[in-house]
Amino acid sequence: MLFGRMMCAALAVASLFLAVDGPAVAHRASTQGVLTQIERGQWLLKERLGSERKICFTAPVNFIQIGHGNAPCDQFVIGQDQRSTTISYTCSGHGKGRTTVTVETPRLVKIETQGVLDGAPFEQEYEARRIGACS
């Protein structure tokens, strides 16, 4: 009986939080906000360990899911301010990740990403610079 009352009270408190704030901890990722400041085009990504690679930035997913590529993933914004955004994503059957993109200028971006890709963990940091138009 006491357990039942405690559960009812807990559910009532939880419903108040949802009614007032909604499930505001995470929001589905949108292309609005910080990532719209980034110029589209060819980018050079320099990994902290020295390797480099080029990508054509045509959409925010190019920087959010670097390890998972264009795999269909559910994305949620878990933090954002004027210069950076942190997005958590899950790719059914391929793993998940968490990426923070910090926009220094529209042509200079810092990317920190970590997660699991096909069962293997990864963690990478990049400095990304726009180098021209996509080829």
Per-residue model confidence as pLDDT tens digits over 107-130:
999 999 999 998 899 999 999 999
What CA–CA distance (Å, rounded) separates 68 from 15? 36
pLDDT single digits (tens) 27-41:
555 545 888 899 999
Strand 108-117 relative to strand 120-132: parallel, antiparallel, unpaired?
Answer: antiparallel
Q: Are 101 and 75 in contact (CB under 8 A)?
A: no
What CA–CA distance (Å, rounded) separates 22 from 60? 26
What CA–CA distance (Å, rounded) separates 37 from 134? 18
Return all residues near 126 (Cβ < 8 A) that are at least 6 apart.
45, 46, 47, 48, 66, 110, 111, 112, 113
pLDDT single digits (tens) 25-78:
455 555 458 888 999 999 999 998 889 999 999 887 788 888 887 778 899 999
- Rounded to two decimals, what is the model's pTM? 0.74
